[in-house]
Amino acid sequence: MAENDSALAENCTYDPQPYQSVKIIMVGLCGTTIAAVSMLENLLIFYMFCTRRQLRSSHLYLAVLSVFDIFISLCYIFLMSMAIYADWALNIFFYQLWHRYLCSSFAFSHVTMTASTYLIIAATLERYCASFVHFRCLLQKMRANQQTVIAIAIGLAIFFKGTIYFEVEVRIDPNCTEPFAALHAGITPLAKNPIYSIVWRFWIRNIMTIFLPFILLAYCNAAIVLKMKEQTKKRTVKALALSPFLERCQMQDTKSIRRGVRSATRMMIMVVSCYLLSNILSVIITAWEHIDIETLFFKFGAFFTLGSDVASLLTVVASALRLPIYAVNNPQIRHELGVILERAFHHGTGNSMKSKKDSMITKNRNAELANESSMDNTTPVPRSPGTWQSAADDRVTEQRFCQAQQRRSSIKYSSSQPSAFNPNCTSSTGYCSMTSERDSRSDSPHGTVIVYVFHEADDTNIAEPSAEFVTRKQALNQ
């Protein structure tokens, strides 16, 4: 310890951070702005999940993730931005304040980043289990114990990254009269221990917090997309077996399914890319540090210095991109976000404008609900032989049939006995039938009803019961 104090006393001169002009723009300007935007976005996400019960119950992981993203952005401002501004302005108060909370805030930032990664994995595993039948039991257990999963994720993050608090220390040289040079931040003797550094810091901690999460996230998302494509292909082939009357409906339904696949693919690319960009550079630098530290420090010093700052900045960028990713890929979140922003915007322009806009939103929403209700009521459902439960109009239009069909995305159109009116309806998993009955509610005495019944066999890939869909077309004899 005496040797360290004497070394500090001999080097009682303060040298500013290297590449200060680059860092003041990259960290001080860009990084601080992105961190502030990330905080606002995640505060909006947290507010949206707290005030919308349906979103909160179905997106609990994302709600907790937004809290950790707020802490990540806040730690970036206090650790990275504060350091560069204090060094650039030579402000001794902020410089000393930064060294006081360095150890605790540095460890806390790593814990929050790891916890957010584990929460992303938990949410992805739920989607993965929902895509495969043999994982349905595990899916039900995970959904029933989401709070326990969140607690485990936080506990693992504290276990693996909490030790960083004991690896960083701030030393003060009492013999140095220069206030900036008297403070030094470095690693503790524990972190310098070869066994601890190689076994725990590099292999165990990096594998459990960087390598393994990345592999799991990439695999689960890829498997989900492949499974969705497989199901889409099967449904598309069965949809082509419908009669020409339903051909355009099936084309619309096929396009809708393909849009869903593309949306899931974009989601996978966005999530994996954000995780990759925010961690891969840190992995490279950390691995290089343990393999050949002298070459990294002396020959590639600029890459090490600026690369570390870029890795920290990319983590904040990933947090700031969460809201755009949710909004692009989730229509419900996009709708609720639009409502919140509209209300906040019109609140500042006047109560009259706000009331007018809110009434328009409410009117449009009620119209959509009424349209859906009308569509459900118009689709006739057999109650008993010769009787029907239907709306006033007996004719089910092609457009309404398409809409009703798209709302039920898990349909198998098949037939073990081809119908004269539907000869292409052939398969071995269900059947179609056609009957002709007298419509007692028709104004014409010769009114008859041609009923097309599409029966659906059980679909083991869908966690919903089989359904029977009926369309009817009235033919009046002239």
Q: Identify any residues that bridge with 387 across adjacent strands, giving them in sequence order.
A: 384
Tokens of 410: 């898990």
**Gap between the Cα atoms of 272 and 289, Å rounded:** 25
- Closest alpha carbon to 340 in 50, 27, 111: 50
Structure tokens at 272: 């994996």
Residue 11: the pLDDT is 65
Q: Which residue has the tokens 């909006």?
A: 44
Contact 323, 41 (CB under 8 A): yes
Rounded to whole angstroms, how far apart are CA atoms 288 and 112? 24
**What pLDDT is recorded for position 410?**
37
| Residue ranges in the chain whose pLDDT is less than 50 | 1-9, 243, 245, 352-355, 366, 369-399, 401, 405-478
How far is 454 from 451, CA to CA, in rounded Å? 10
For helices 301-320 and 60-76, give the axis angle rounded to 10 degrees.
Answer: 140
Ordered DSSP codes for 322-345:
HHHHHHHH-HHHHHHHHHHHHHHH
Take residue 263 and report the two structure tokens written for it. 């949306």
Residue pLDDT, tens place only, 397-432:
444 545 554 444 333 333 333 333 344 444 333 434
Tokens of 415: 């037939």
Whole-number pLDDT of residue 114? 94
CB of 166 closer than 8 Å to CB of 156:
no
| One-letter-per-residue 3-state SS of 127-190 | HHHHHCHHHHHHHHHHHHCHHHHHHHHHHHHHHHHHHHHHCEEEEECCCCCCCCCCEEEEECHH
CA distance 36 to 69: 11
d(CA 246, CA 236): 13
Cβ(447)–Cβ(460) under 8 Å? no
Torsions phi, psi of 333, nearest 5? -65, -40
Q: What superfamily would CATH give domain 2-331?
A: Rhodopsin 7-helix transmembrane proteins (1.20.1070.10)
Phi and psi torsions of 179, nearest 5°: -65, -35
DSSP structure class, residue 298: I
Tokens standing for residue 284: 């490279």
- In the chain, the amino acid numbered 437 is E
DSSP assignment of 439-460: -TT-SSTTEEEEEEEEE----T
CB atoms inside a 10 Å sphere around CB 240: 13
Q: Taking a C-beta distance cutoff of 8 angstroms, is the pair 406, 256 a contact?
A: yes
> In sequence order, which residues have a C-beta less than 8 Å from that of residue 326 and are 6 or more positions away?
45, 62, 333, 334
Domain boundaries along the sequence of the chain: 2-331, 381-476
| Residue 274 CA: distances (Å) to CA of 111, 193, 271 | 18, 33, 5
Relative orientation angle of helices 136-144 and 102-131, to the nearest 10 degrees: 140
Other residues' Cβ atoms within 10 Å of the Cβ of residue 74? 18
The pLDDT of residue 378 is 39
